[in-house]
Amino acid sequence: MNECYYDKRMDFFYNKTKTDTADEWTGPQLIVVLCFGTFFCLFIFISNSLVIAAVVKNKRFHFPFYYLLANLAAADFFAGIAYVFLMFNTGPVSKTLTVNRWFLRQGLLDTSLTASLVNLLVIAVERHMSIMRMKIHSNLTKKRVTFLIISIWAIAIFMGAVPTLGWNCLCDITVCSSLAPIYSRSYLVFWSVLNLVVFFIMVVVYIRIYMYVQRKTNVLSSHTSGSISRRRTPVKLMKTVMTVLGAFVVCWTPGLVVLLLDGLNCTHCGIQNVKRWFLLLALLNSVMNPIIYSYKDDEMWGTMKRMIFCSSEDKSQDRRSSRIPSTVLCRSTDTSGHYIEDGIIQGTICGKGDLGDKGNS
């Protein structure tokens, strides 16, 4: 029967896996990592707090898409907390940690990153449902959205706790990872492959959205003369989709590949030399999410700017300016390509269920 090492400190496991945590986290490299990490975390806290506050404050955001967006912001805010905890418990300090404290450090990271990823997937599916059915929002009720949000966090917490629950190498140090000295290599393979599969699903979903909008736009252009803005719709949509997918690929894929290589016990891949930089890339994803999913929405950005600068604009004028685009898009019968594109970027698609314009119909 294998001996278990629950009472050992992390220096025992780092020595067993021959992982050096001191030399690589000293000097200019450490300063650069900590400076970038601190800046990113501060931005995560501020920007995602503004997103959540904007959704709560603006009643026009009280729809499923924006509830999920706020939950994504909450997940990214939690990611900032996880990275702050990591910065104070990494480098030479890692060897002094107890097993439970190290599990907590990694569990926070796994939970936050999983929550962000699952949120992105749910938002993509919600947008797909709305666009395919030509509705302002999907048929998600508040109860269903609440259930989705609870499920997202349940999945994230479970994934973060899986190694603690038993999928580790405390009782069999021969299968320990080098990047995560008390994680089993098989778990790293499972976790990285699972996330790559989710990434693939997101790619498929957004490709279907783009192809659908492009097809509708082509049908529209064959029956109408079309305006310049409508002709540019596919280009705008492609830029949005490429921004979303490009950010995910750049920020997540390198780290997932490194974890996969470590899980496959690649001893000559030099993963120890790049792990901290890929960790910063994963952190950067939480920085970019509020920019991609929120700042492209003019009304969201306007609400956030008003909160930042504490402006006291006339409310009636603000309501009139915010309702004009919705009224124009919903009443126009020959601009389907345009309002589909706006719906993807801004989270609203005009239709019979537009609550904002029901009183004016």
Residue (of 214, 211, 283) closest to 33 by Cα position: 283
Q: Count of CB atoms within 10 A of residue 269's CB?
A: 14
Q: Count of CB atoms within 10 A of residue 331's CB?
A: 12
Q: Count of CB atoms within 10 A of residue 313's CB?
A: 10
User: Tokens standing for 47?
Assistant: 């920007």
285 burial type by CB count under 10 A (0-12 exposed, 13-18 middle, 19+ buried): buried
Print pLDDT tens along the chain (361 aa).
567 888 888 888 888 776 655 545 566 767 777 787 788 889 989 988 988 998 888 888 888 878 888 998 899 899 889 988 988 887 778 888 899 999 999 999 899 888 988 888 888 887 777 777 665 556 677 888 999 999 999 999 999 999 999 899 898 888 888 888 899 999 999 999 998 888 888 888 878 877 877 777 677 666 555 454 444 544 454 555 567 667 877 788 888 888 888 888 887 777 777 777 787 788 788 888 778 766 666 777 788 888 888 754 444 444 444 443 433 333 333 333 344 444 433 443 333 344 344 444 3
Indicate the DSSP class of residue 171.
T
Report whether 74 contacts 55 (CB < 8 A).
no
Q: 315-330, pLDDT tens digit by residue?
A: 444 444 444 343 333 3
Q: What is the CA radius of gyration of the chain?
A: 23
State the fold for domain 10-220+231-309.
Answer: Rhopdopsin 7-helix transmembrane proteins (1.20.1070)
Please give the model's pTM, rounded to 2 decimal places.
0.76
* 219-249 burial code (b ≥16 CB/10 A, e <16): ebeeeeebeeebeebbebbeebbeebeebbe
- What's the CA gap between 190 and 308, in Å, rounded? 43
